[in-house]
Amino acid sequence: MTRQRPIPPRCPAPPQRPTPSQRPVDRQPAAVPADVLDAVAAGGADDAGGLDVALLGDFLPVVVRAAAGGRRLGRTQIARFSAAGKTAAAQGVALRALLDLYLSAAWRLWDHLPEVIDAAADPGGVVRAGRAVLRATDDVVAALAEGYQLARRELIRAESLARREFVDDLLNGSRSGAALIERAAGFGLTLAGSHAVAVVRAAAPFADESPLNRDIERSLAGTKADADALIATKDGRLVVIFAAPDRVAVREVVDRITRTLPARPAAGPGDWQLGVGRPHPGAAGVRESFDDALEALDLGGRLGSDPAVVDAADLLVYRVLLRDQAAIRDLMDAVLTPMLAARGGAQPLIDTLYGYFSTGGNNSATARAMHLSVRAVSYRLDRVQQLTGYRLDDPVPRFTLHTAVLGARLLGWPARPV
């Protein structure tokens, strides 16, 4: 029996070298003439509306190297384009135009890449170059957008802070008029003319970056205050400073604001109320109108009324009453004190008189407003005449009684002793 010789194991075949079209290329980029790069950059700038070609930085050489090497951009390279996005935002360049500049430059550069020109000699190189260019452009555009958005947020925060400081200085009177007038120009205000201030208060405080603020700003476009309006917040209230050449302009602005504010529930929680000051000229006039608006809101609350808009111009008579509180107290003491002897106290009679005067002396309308019967209203009015001796059908006693009742509402009598 013949012994068979063992077959020796085969040696592994040596690895085959990839053909030039199969292996990645890692070589120095072929030169793209500088004049070609300049022409590509100029064409991209034209496509983007005439932007400065300097905003491209070294984008084109970076793409040329990426196409030649087939590698992705490094973090340091990408970070440079994030900084370029911040620079463009600081210069006021629109993000759409900035991206258009880079994308246009990328597609214009494609035909001039050595890998595309020599496509017949190395077809696989064109594929690799295309992939590298698309990936590099994608990374650069993403970095540009990120840097731009970060810069825009920083600019918005800085502008919001500057606006808040200016509004505080303007409304508090903590700076000289000349300095305020100079700063006001940066916010679109010309303080030489007459301005009025509207103040909106609500249960929930207003925030600086609330979308509602921008909605109100847009709603004022086209009004007489369009080019001279400033919207800000102060102490949780919304403040609108606007040009007020006449009462028509004031009414138009107030109407636009109230139509933009959310639907106002009837005397419900979260309700809002707008106080508007009288127009005054100059920086000091803005402060005075702001004080008017706050006082109008305060008087509206004291009177217990609940209108959506409280205009300081309609409340001048109440300001007159409050300026001499000693006299109004004497009047109340002489006219209203006898009502304390009424059954149930003076408060129901005071409320009935206020409703009666507010409806023009109409018993039926007073009864509807107070949810009483006409008979109950008539009884209370008769009781007032019996206790005080002032007749409601006589103009002079009626005026005296009306004035005393307004004083009681403003000073909170009889709940608050005077």
> Which pLDDT belongs to residue 17?
45
pLDDT per residue over 290-300, tens digit each? Answer: 999 999 998 88
Q: Which residue is listed with tokens 């847009």?
A: 218
Q: Are residues 294 and 347 in the same domain?
A: no
Q: Are residues 45 and 64 in the same domain?
A: yes
| Number of domain units in the chain | 3
Least confident of 17-31, 104-118, 155-169, 366-380: 17-31
Within a domain: 219: yes
Instruction: Say how many C-beta atoms besides its own lie within 10 A of residue 242's C-beta.
Output: 28
pLDDT per residue over 179-210, tens digit each? Answer: 787 777 777 777 778 899 999 998 888 887 78
pLDDT per residue over 374-413, tens digit each? Answer: 999 999 999 999 999 999 988 888 999 998 998 888 888 8
Q: Are residues 307 and 333 in the same domain?
A: no
Roughly how many angstroms between the first and final C-alpha of the chain, as a whole number? 138
What's 253's domain CATH number? Answer: 3.30.70.270
Within a domain: 14: no
> Which pLDDT belongs to residue 226?
54
Q: Are residues 347 and 379 in the same domain?
A: yes
Within a domain: 118: yes
What's 342's domain CATH number? Answer: 1.10.10.2840
Within a domain: 376: yes
> Which pLDDT belongs to residue 353?
93
Within a domain: 287: yes
Q: Are residues 294 and 338 in the same domain?
A: no
The pLDDT confidence band at residue 131, using thresholds 50, 70 and 90, is: very high
Q: Are residues 232 and 298 in the same domain?
A: yes
State yes or no: pLDDT of 304 exceeds 90: no
pLDDT per residue over 34-82, tens digit each? Answer: 899 999 999 999 999 999 999 999 999 999 999 888 778 888 889 999 9
Provide the mean pLDDT of the chain. Answer: 84
Q: Are residues 246 and 279 in the same domain?
A: yes
> Which pLDDT belongs to residue 179?
74
Q: Are residues 139 and 229 in the same domain?
A: no
> Which pLDDT belongs to residue 113?
92
pLDDT per residue over 151-167, tens digit each? Answer: 988 887 777 788 788 88
Q: Are residues 301 and 339 in the same domain?
A: no
Within a domain: 106: yes
> Which pLDDT belongs to residue 316?
82
Its domain, for residue 346, covers 324-411
